[in-house]
Amino acid sequence: MGQFKTEAYQSLLRRLGGVTGENLFMILGKVQDRFGYVPKEVVRDLAARTGIPEARIYGTLTSYRDFKV
């Protein structure tokens, strides 16, 4: 799991006021900034919280060169 820390991720979500489909891209960017990549655990959690399929979130991530998964 590398440098990913669940507590730090949960804290980040609390500071951002939770997750919605509308702020998902911003949250992905904040996770990338904090951890240096977007862990698969985060993708799974965000998919569960928003109802957006994991494949669609991965599609978004792989569409942008700056994101690392």
Give the pLDDT confidence of 17-54 residue by residue, as tens digits: 888 888 899 999 999 998 899 999 999 999 999 999 99
Query: What is the chain's alpha carbon radius of gyration, rounded to the nearest angstrom?
Result: 11
Separation of alpha carbons 62 and 66, rounded Å = 9
pLDDT for 4 equals 65
Domain count of the chain? 1
For residue 68, tell me if it sits in a domain. Answer: no
| pTM as predicted | 0.83
Displacement of CA 48 from its chain's centroid (Å): 11
For residue 50, tell me if it sits in a domain. Answer: yes
CB atoms near residue 39 (< 10 Å): 20
Token match 């799974």: residue?
44
pLDDT for 3 equals 55
Q: Give yes or no for a contact between 57 and 51, defined as CB atoms under 8 angstroms apart.
A: no
Domain holding 28, by residue range, is 6-63
